[in-house]
Chain A
Amino acid sequence: MQELKEQIKEIIVRDLKLQGIEPAEIDDDAPLFEEGLGLDSLDAVELVVLVQKHFDVQIEDMDEGQAAFKSINTLAEFIEARRKK
């Protein structure tokens, strides 16, 4: 699971082109949007595409997205659970 979290952090920093932040600096529990990492609705769309592209997991709706996009921890858990199905 830790390896998956690191992978997600790297993808977020690299593919969303976040500047001035290193993957290791992202707190596993910090909110991804707004007051946490500061992602916005433009990033949400890209994140859905990135999760599909890198992990072959599709986020289908608002409820799934809201739960999965809370933090690195929740996103990793979501991907892990979907991969096992």
Chain B
Amino acid sequence: MSMPRRTPLRFLEALGHNIFYLTLLLFGQGGAYLLLKPVIATYLAFSRKIHRNTAFYLKRRFPEHGPVRLWLDTFRLVHSFGQVLVDRGWLGLRGKARLEGDLLGAERLRELVAGGKGLVLLTAHVGNWQTALSHIRGLEVPINSLMHYEEEAVAKHYFDLRSGEAPFKIIKSDGFMGGMIESTAALQRGEVVTIMGDRYEGGPYAEVEFLGGKARLPTAAYSLAAATGAPVAILLAAKTGRRTYTINVWDDFYPAMGERNERRRDLSLWAERFAGSLEGYLAEHPYQWYNFFDLWSQ
């Protein structure tokens, strides 16, 4: 097995990680926030890759911005992501630490759950989405989260560090039929299944208009809901301050499918509706989009 090459950038990354860890231990969230700006400025000065990876989104969100403003946009985007990572580390290391937030539309979620058909909660890699997952405890039915391996590892890491029981059960999307069987069983029991609707990792998909181009979005959530009769609610979190966030139910609907040969078209319509909610969210929170790859050329 070959060892990864030790480049100056990798060294800086490792050093930065350790310094942040120590700062969080000694000075808490505020101390780590202070460090973020110079560290990110240095990172952006040396890494071309981060500019390339953020430009896929930023050039679509801000097509009128020139190179200088794009550099500043990249800074704001990476800085916002850095704050979310700091928060996660801070919440993990400090048992009593907490963020304060509101769940707008909580009553609507309770109504949908009360229908007894289960509920598909569709979310995305925006804002502090893990906070969103941990905030939806008050629904009085078990919550399951359909996750890809990497997300599962991150979520496990986060919740294992926290004291107490994890707020949701993880269903792996890597197995037979991508976790659809377990998800279907959970919905049939009237439970909640959360799914990330923005990142295509394989399986059924639709290509829909999103930020001025065709993006491939997964459609498993809509087929699950259509087959079981469950409603879909789109839930997106945003960081609104140093220790505050908001979670908003952007939309809810009951997907239904017609004839067999029209299923793909039906799924596209629901995926378009999700893309519309995402665009609305990004109009309000343009620097909280954490998909650093070309979503439009998958």
Contact = CB atoms under 8 A, between A and B. Distances in A.
Interface in A28-85: 40-42, 44-46, 48-49, 52, 58-66
Contact of A49 (B175, B176, B203, B228): B228
Given A16-B260, A42-B204, A45-B227, A58 B177 contact: no
B176 A62 contact: yes
Interface majority SS (helix, strand, loop, mixed), chain B? helix
A49 B227 contact: yes
Given A41-B203, A52-B188, A62 B181 contact: yes
Given A48-B184, A58-B188, A41 B260 contact: no
Interface in B159-200: 175-185, 188
Contact of A45 (B180, B260, B261): B180
Nearest to B222: A42
B176 A42 contact: no
A65 B224 contact: no
B286 to A, nearest CB: 34
B259 interface: yes
Contact of A60 (B185, B203, B204): B185
Interface residues of B, number: 23
A5 to B, nearest CB: 21
A30 B220 CA distance: 26
A45 B204 contact: no
Given A17-B260, A61-B181, A45 B176 contact: no
A40 B263 CA distance: 12
B223 interface: yes
B188 A49 contact: yes
A60 to B, nearest CB: 5
B258 to A, nearest CB: 9
A41 B182 CA distance: 13
Contacts of B185: 48, 58-61
Contacts of B260: 16-19
Interface in B210-243: 220, 223-224, 227-228
B263 to A, nearest CB: 6
Contacts of B177: 41, 44-45, 62, 65
A64 B204 contact: no
Contacts of B178: 41
A42 B181 contact: no
Interface in B257-298: 259-261, 263
B266 to A, nearest CB: 10
Contacts of A44: 177, 180-181
Closest 3 A/B residue pairs (Cβ):
A65-B181, A17-B260, A45-B227
27 contacts: A40-B204, A41-B178, A41-B180, A41-B203, A41-B220, A42-B223, A42-B263, A44-B177, A44-B180, A44-B181, A45-B177, A45-B223, A45-B224, A45-B228, A46-B227, A49-B188, A59-B181, A59-B185, A60-B181, A60-B182, A60-B185, A62-B176, A62-B177, A62-B182, A65-B176, A65-B181, A66-B176
Interface of B: 175-185, 188, 203-204, 220, 223-224, 227-228, 259-261, 263
Given A48-B188, A60-B185, 19 more contacts: A17-B259, A18-B260, A19-B260, A19-B261, A40-B204, A41-B180, A41-B223, A42-B223, A44-B181, A45-B184, A45-B227, A48-B185, A49-B227, A49-B228, A52-B188, A58-B185, A60-B182, A62-B176, A62-B177
